[in-house]
Structure 1
Amino acid sequence: MSLKLQMNIDGIMLLEQPFARVPCENYRKVFRTSQKYVEKELGGINTTCNDASTKSLSPEESLKAIDSMLSRAENLKRKLNELNGTAGQAAQDTLRARYGHLAAAESFAQSESGQTQFSQWADTRSDRWLVDWMLRAGRETSAKAIASQKGIQKLVDLELFADIRRIEDALRGNSCMEALAWCNENKTQLRKMKSTLEFDLRLQEYVELARARKTHEAMAYSKKYLASWHDTHPQQIKQASALLAFPPTTACGPYKRLYDPGKRVALIESFRVTAYTLHCIPTEPLLHLALYSGLASLKLPACKEHSTKNVDCPVCDTSGGLGALADEVPFSHHVNSTIVCKISGKIMNEDNAPMAFPNGYVYSRLALEDMAMKNNGLVTCPRTKTTCEFKELRKLYIS
């Protein structure tokens, strides 16, 4: 008898939303860049064309205008070809690989013998989550080695995390230029998110000028970059203006906090959260989320009692491993264990009582009744292939 694999596809796909959305965001960025090129170059061509049609130009001037339009059109074509041939093609390849990976899980659920294939798919998913955790922890060399060895480069965000790490390193080195360039590239999305990251970066650069006692440069910087934020951040700009009157060694609370070196750490964290949000990436590693889900289903009040600890239970572990993570999750909503039928995948309870074969294997009554109806009252144990009559089964009572 072949058993159809029972899988909760909706539950599996719940953690896969960032996996599918990141390449979509990258492809959308390629499209926006292409759109800007088209608007800029076509606008210039239209302007030249209108000027040529409304003005009385000599033959030489007309030829020059036509050459200018052709040059801009060729330049536009070259830029679009380069963009679609590099970033665009890479984004398309990543999209195909990732959606193909997700479609495979659904095909296994509809297959009569999908257990082996799904196990392999789940192993690949574990590798992806491990690489994701390593990238977040700054272990890029190990992450790249695993991705290369497993052949999952298109299933992980190596370039994205490398870019985020590059900007974070620049911020640690007291340089906001890379982060400001990133803000400029994504200013439309940041505006929709109502993010204040760009203002925070500008304010930090101003503070660094004040710390170096470059008063004139700081005033010019404030006029050029901070004044435009006056409608949304008036109080902070006023405080920043008064900062020039206080040295970095000041004991005055508000201005001492502006000079605090710890603000740069908070700025790095703010950038990281903004970048994750922009690319639809959860701030917590997917590996942690999966572990939290599993530990929460196992955690019971008995795990905290020394007399009932189980050496095989990860929640009862006191060596600082999974037991430490389990401290952060709530107790399971199920006080008692749930018994699931191997045949149907349905829960066995008072309405679907467990029935035992003479050899001791247990399955649900509804599944065995359905089997008996199709086989003239005979039922077969899927594990041992033992066959007997339905009336020989024993009903069990859960206590």
Structure 2
Amino acid sequence: MEIDPLPNGSGSNAATSPETAATTTAITVTSNTAPSSKLSHLTESLKLEHQFLRVPFEHFKKTIRTNHRTVEKEVSAIISSVTDVADSDEISKDDAILSLTSLVSRLQGIKRKLEEGSHAENLQAHRCRARLDHLDSADAENLSEWNNVRLKRILVDYMSRMSYYDSAMKLAESSNIQELVDIDVFQEAKKVIDGLRNQEVGPALAWCADNKSRLKKSKSKFEFQLRLQEFVELVRAENYMRAISYARRYLSPWGATHLKEFQRVMATLAVRSHTECAKYKLGLVMTDFGFLIRFPVAFNLISHRFWVVDAVASVWIGAIHDEFQILSG
């Protein structure tokens, strides 16, 4: 009986040695894991680029919504005023001139707001376009340079998160990547945090007003805590009438969702600010500016999670590790 020869060699070597088998297995494992590793790297890279693109895009949408609401409100008020004047049977010439002058002034105000809004929209659209163009510019010829720019973007973002704003700004300017990073977002957050450190809740409340829908969607009580803080400060100053007025206007809407905290803090009106009663003393110290700074929303603000999806820490660490390997290789 004849034995068919092996496909890749002579029939005289039919038995495979252990060394050959081990080598074959290693090659097979390497060939199977290499595509998986590349796919994993690509996935992490896309997560990173998605975050860089999401920030200006979210700002762009927010600017459009704000401009639309502002103009819609102003136009509705003007149309209502025109209708009232037109329906008036008895209106003097002087009153008509006064009404028209007022309408012209309001229309000029709308024009100014439209111009400002258009400028802001164009700025955000330009930033989105710059990042898309940068993403599209990556190819085999300039991959090393492109990865170097990406590493600098990561470093600028990290320094901004760690409050090294001047260093982040200098790196962005020296690398000419201002349109590819989001230092302005962190500077906006810095104003809020600095205000709380200076025992001022105004900037934080303004931020809450601008992001009201997002806070409501996430069921955040950051604004409620800010309002409690202002109320407590009025009670500590023994300005009880202002505290009552403030509570009616700003705290009562939160009563349905935060009844226990609302009742506890309202009880402080019945005691002196220097009371030693632990139960009521707790109400006067239940909020402080240090607590507000440490509040989760403050940290979400710093990490701009209201503008982007949560970034996994491994994405950043892995990306930096990969860039250093590429640059050193």
TM-score, with normalisation over the residues of structure 2?
0.74
Q: Distance in 2 between matches of 1:252 and 1:49?
A: 60
Q: Which deviates more, 267-276 or 21-30?
A: 267-276
The alignment status of 1:147 with 2:180, answered yes or no, reads no
Q: Name the structure, 1 or 2, with higher relative contact order (CA <8 Å, separation 6+).
A: 2
Q: Which residue of 2 aligns with 1:312?
A: none
Unaligned runs of 5+ in 2: 1-37, 323-329
Task: Give, in angstroms, the shift of residue 281 of structure 1.
Answer: 5.8
Contact kept in structure 1, 2:131 and 2:180, CA below 8 Å: yes
The alignment status of 1:133 with 2:158, answered yes or no, reads yes
If each structure's helix is expressed as a fraction of its own residues, which one has the higher value? 2
Contact kept in structure 2, 1:25 and 1:279, CA below 8 Å: yes
Q: Which residue of 1 aligns with 2:225?
A: 200
SS at match of 1:278: coil
In the alignment, which of 86, 89, 103 is matched to residue 53 of structure 1? Answer: 86
Q: Distance in 2 between matches of 1:84 and 1:157?
A: 20
Q: Which residue of 2 aligns with 1:43?
A: 76
In the alignment, which of 89, 108, 121 is matched to residue 74 of structure 1? Answer: 108
What amino acid is aligned across from residue 268 of structure 2 in structure 1? L
Task: Give, in angstroms, the shift of residue 239 of structure 1.
Answer: 0.5
In the alignment, which of 298, 301, 307 is matched to residue 272 of structure 1? Answer: 298
Task: Give, in angstroms, the shift of residue 193 of structure 1.
Answer: 2.5
SS at match of 2:256: coil
In the alignment, which of 262, 275, 282 is matched to residue 256 of structure 1? Answer: 282
Task: Give, in angstroms, the shift of residue 151 of structure 1.
Answer: 0.6
SS at match of 2:80: helix
Q: Distance in 1 between matches of 2:166 and 2:223?
A: 30
Q: Distance in 2 between matches of 1:226 and 1:77?
A: 37
SS at match of 1:16: helix
Q: Distance in 1 between matches of 2:305 and 2:48?
A: 15
Q: Which deviates more, 266-275 or 190-199?
A: 266-275
Unaligned runs of 5+ in 1: 1-5, 109-113, 298-399
What amino acid is aligned across from residue 51 of structure 1 in structure 2? D
Query: How has the CA–CA distance of structure 1 residues 248 and 176 changed in structure 2, closer, same or farther, with 3 Å as cutoff?
Result: farther
Q: Which residue of 2 aligns with 1:173?
A: 198
What amino acid is aligned across from residue 142 of structure 1 in structure 2? S
Contact kept in structure 1, 2:51 and 2:311, CA below 8 Å: no
SS at match of 2:200: coil
Q: Which deviates more, 21-30 or 69-78?
A: 69-78
What amino acid is aligned across from residue 81 of structure 1 in structure 2? E
Task: Give, in angstroms, the shift of residue 14 of structure 1.
Answer: 1.5
1:44-103: CA deviation from partner (whole Å, max 9, x where unpaired): 221133224323245655555444444333321222112222x22321221111121222
1:347-379: CA deviation from partner (whole Å, max 9, x where unpaired): xxxxxxxxxxxxxxxxxxxxxxxxxxxxxxxxx
Task: Give, in angstroms, the shift of residue 255 of structure 1.
Answer: 4.3
Query: How has the CA–CA distance of structure 1 residues 254 and 293 changed in structure 2, closer, same or farther, with 3 Å as cutoff?
Result: farther
The alignment status of 1:183 with 2:208, answered yes or no, reads yes
Query: How has the CA–CA distance of structure 1 residues 59 and 242 changed in structure 2, closer, same or farther, with 3 Å as cutoff?
Result: closer
Contact kept in structure 2, 1:22 and 1:281, CA below 8 Å: no
The size of the alignment, in residue pairs, is 279
